[in-house]
Every structure is written in C-alpha cells, then in structure tokens.
Structure 1
Amino acid sequence: MKYVRFFYEEKIQFGILDEGIITVIDRSFLEKGNLPTGTTLSLKEVQLLAPVQPSKVICIGLNYAKHIAEFGGSKPEDPIIFIKPSTSVIGPEEEIVAPAMSQQVDHEAELAVVIGKTAKDIKEDQAYDYIFGYTCGNDVTARDLQRIDGQWTRGKGFDTFCPLGPWIVTDLDPSHLDIRAILNGKVKQSSNTQYFLNPIAKLVSFISQVMTLLPGDVIMTGTPEGVSPMKPGDEIVVRVEGIGELRNRIR
C-alpha cells in the first residue's frame, strides 16, 4: 500500500493512495485504529508533504563499496551512523536551500526506512517486524563543510537537507531495488540496494542497540557512488524502484 501525508483545506491530513486517488483516513497511518473518513481526493488536488515527521533521521555512512572507493576510504568495521535533525526534513517539490556558508552542496540518493513501532535492543531476525515501510530520501550534504569539520553534523544538518517522499510503500522487498539520482535530467547515481554492505535488518538492529527508535523515525540506508554538486536552479530527482520519484529544486 501507499500512504501519504498531505495538506488540504488548510490542514495536514493522511490517506491511502491508489491509482491517483487518496482515501482519506481520520488520523496518522502510524496510529492504531485509523479509519476511512468517507472522503476521497485526487492526488492532483493536494499538496504532498514529507510522509512522516520523524523525531530523528538516522543516516548510514559508507554503505556501498563503490561510494567508499570514490572518496578513497575503507570499509568500516561497524555501520557508521549520524543524525540529521527533524528540522532538515522537507517534502516533494519543496526547495532545498543552499546555505551561504557552503560552496559545494551535493545530492545523495538513498532508500529510506520508516520505523512503525518503538524498537530497542532488537535482534536482526526481528527487524522487519518494526519497519512500517519505505520511501525515497536525499541526504543533501555541504561537502566542503563536511571536509573542514572532520565530522558531519554541520554539513548534513542544515534546514531542508533531508527531502523525503513522495509517499511510503509498505508491501515492498527492499533487498533488490534500483536507485538513481537524476540531476537536470542526467543520471548521476545508479545502483541497487543489493550492494548494501550492511543490510537493512542489521542496520535496524544495530541502531536499536544505540538508541530507541520511535514510530515515524527514518533510517537513511546510505548512498551509492556518483554524488555530485548541485547549484541554485537545479532540479534533483531521487528515483527508487517500486516507490517512485522524489523531486526538489535548489534555491
């Protein structure tokens, strides 16, 4: 199923999307007991928002071997994790704002995992019980500031630096999905989730041993090779097989 979060008639609403028609539900799809309101809307009538409002976005660095190679690094022993603040999250068609203090803002196309229920110290074979679904993500990065700082909080944490969307897909096998970044119509990144160094079950389990994952939290699973700079006026599209396209412009 496809779940959407959207703005319509001056309020945020939730629904189930099927062939361009939204069946509106009475509360968040992450809440138990949600029910149809009896209202249906065309997708064209609404403004899609980021499909969730996470308490935190946990990102994985260096999860594709070729991405490690393009930066001259080596495979880490454990998954590298870092956090983007909730204020970095934007939705489809919203603008990514290039900060004045950076001269190089890169795209990073990623599969994003949405957590469905509270997870703490879970085992790998339990991980999928805690996943609600999947969406497209862009781990926008001020690469020059990342290099200067030697750690990633500033370079990854600016407002608008975590586009998510356009919706959440629940009935999806995430183990073999094509993933692409398309900048102004040109494919810059093209890979497949089969090349993860750390599979999703391992990531969910590992992170849950560090911090409690809450419903709506997002895990960004890492980006493949081909990251490149964006400039104001550019359009960046993240495309994930089985999900769709996340489209944003740079300002």
Structure 2
Amino acid sequence: MRIARVITSGGVTTVRVDDDGSFIPVDDPYAAFAGGKEPQDAAEPVQPVQGDLAPPCTPTVVVGIAQNGPGHASPVQAWLKSPRTVTGPGVTVRLRRDAGQTVAEAEVAVVIGRDTTGLTAENAHEYVLGITAVNDLSSPDRAVVDPRNFESKSGEGYTPLGPWIDTALSLDADLPMALLADGVARAETSAGRLPMTPRGCLAYVAGWTTLGPGDVVMMGAPHSQAPVHAGETVEIVIGDLRLSTPTS
C-alpha cells in the first residue's frame, strides 16, 4: 500500500494512493499496523480527495546514519536532525547563501510503525511501516566549524520527504537510487551498496533510544550525493518513489 498525507480544505487527510493516482482516505495507518493489518478505507468521506501532498509522516525524531557509504567501513554511527526541517514533495526550499556549497543526498528513509522496544536486526521488519524517499540536504562546508552537524543539517526545509510511504518495500531490497537536477542524473547507485544494512542500523538506533510511530531513520548515501544550486529542481529516486524539490 502507498500511504500519503494530503492537504485539503478541511485539513490534512491520510490516504492511500490508488492505482489510478487518486487519493482514497484511510483510517489511522499506525493503529492498523499495531493490529497487524493494513488500514481500511475511511467510512467518511467515501469519495477521493484532492490537494497537495504533505510530508507522508510527522516524525518526532529524525535519525541520520553517519558515513554509511563506500569507504566508510566504520561502526554504525547516528546523529539527529530536527524534525522541523521536514517538508513535503514539491515545496520550494531556499538554499542558504551564508553556508557555502549545498549538497543533496538521495537516501532510503525508513518510517517506524510502532514502539521499537525489542527491535533487533532479525525482527526489524516487524517494526517498520514502510519506506519513503528523503533528500538529506546539507551544507558540508560548515563541518569545519561544526563537527556535530548542527549547522550543516539545519537549513529551513532541508529534509524533503515523500511522496508517500510504500508499505510493500522490503528492508532487504537492493533499491535503485538516483539523484537528478533539472532532469540530469548526477548520481546513480543502489541501496545494496550501503556497508551497514538498514536492519543493522535500526538495531543500533533502537538499542540507544526508543523510536515510535512516524519516526524516520535516514539510511545514508552510498555514492548518491552531489552539489546542487539555487534554481535547480532536485529529484530523488528510490525504486519507484520519486521526490521532487524545487530550490531557490
């Protein structure tokens, strides 16, 4: 199932994305996940809704996995990114002019479905609602004076997320990954090149802090990052997920 959130005249509505692209309201997907089932179509309204896509979840915690790419065969490392940087598909992000170069990173984002107490590498899939795409925008030049990543990762809107959560995607899938700017590929790779597996990363994070429904873990960039410039439209491709972010 593809689960999204749509901005309607009555507020934000959780929907499933039908095969024809229409948005069908559904019940709380996290409550359904806790019950071991998929969300059912909402009783009211019974008709599809229209509107722009919001971020597919509203995380309380956003975790990044550090140095999870070729050439970084170090133990799992993690860091926190403010959930206030999360924005939805198609929202224009203004790149900071005072922070040097901006880099976009195409990453697999795992959306947690329930309290992660008891999560291990072996059973991690039992705690995951699904997978979405994330554009982990960064200002890496700030790392010279900011080794903890606060400044380099805190730009307004620097975590575009979406367009929806795909509950059918496996944690173990070698998903194709690409980063495009104005339609031109700047990086192409796959999730299979992550030296630390999503399962291992989730087990590490859950071993230190409890995550909950809607929280997000970004799995790192296995050669899936490139500099981007104001005015370009950045597209993140994770399998069949395509997340578009205009910049200014």
TM-score higher than 0.5: yes
Is 1:41 aligned to 2:42, yes or no?
Answer: no
Is 1:165 aligned to 2:162, yes or no?
Answer: yes
Select between 55-64 and 96-105 the one with higher mean Cα deviation.
96-105
Deviation of 1:31 after TM superposition, in Å, equals: 2.8
- Name the structure 2 match of 1:187: 185
Give me the whole-angstrom Cα distance separating, in 2, the residues matched to 1:85 and 1:187.
Answer: 28
Is 1:99 aligned to 2:104, yes or no?
Answer: no
Is 1:112 aligned to 2:109, yes or no?
Answer: yes
Is 1:61 aligned to 2:66, yes or no?
Answer: yes
- Which has the larger share of helix? 1
- Name the structure 1 match of 2:9: 9
Letter in 2 for 1:12: V
Identity of aligned residues (%): 23
Give me the whole-angstrom Cα distance separating, in 2, the residues matched to 1:158 and 1:23.
Answer: 33
Give me the whole-angstrom Cα distance separating, in 2, the residues matched to 1:167 and 1:16.
Answer: 9
Select between 155-164 and 219-228 the one with higher mean Cα deviation.
219-228
Deviation of 1:198 after TM superposition, in Å, equals: 1.0
- Name the structure 2 match of 1:87: 84
Deviation of 1:121 after TM superposition, in Å, equals: 4.8
CA contact (8 A) 1:109 1:179 kept: yes
Give me the whole-angstrom Cα distance separating, in 2, the residues matched to 1:250 and 1:103.
Answer: 15
Aligned residues between the structures = 239
Give me the whole-angstrom Cα distance separating, in 2, the residues matched to 1:158 and 1:164.
Answer: 15
Letter in 1 for 2:46: T
Give me the whole-angstrom Cα distance separating, in 1, the residues matched to 2:51 and 2:194.
Answer: 35
Deviation of 1:75 after TM superposition, in Å, equals: 2.2
Q: State the TM-score, normalized to the length of structure 2.
A: 0.91
CA deviation map 1:166-211 (0-9, x unaligned): 0000011242110000011111111111111111111111100111
Deviation of 1:38 after TM superposition, in Å, equals: 4.2
Is 1:245 aligned to 2:245, yes or no?
Answer: no
2:153 aligns to what SS in structure 1? helix
Unpaired segments ≥5 residues, structure 2:
none
1:141 aligns to what SS in structure 2? coil
C-alpha change, 1:217 and 1:86, in structure 2 (3 Å) is: same
CA deviation map 1:136-195 (0-9, x unaligned): 001100111123322212101222011100000001124211000001111111111111
RMSD (CA atoms): 1.6
CA contact (8 A) 1:138 1:164 kept: yes
Give me the whole-angstrom Cα distance separating, in 2, the residues matched to 1:61 and 1:228.
Answer: 16
CA contact (8 A) 2:194 2:221 kept: no
Flag as ranges the 4+ runs of structure 1 deviating above 3 A: 32-35
Give me the whole-angstrom Cα distance separating, in 1, the residues matched to 2:170 and 2:118.
Answer: 23
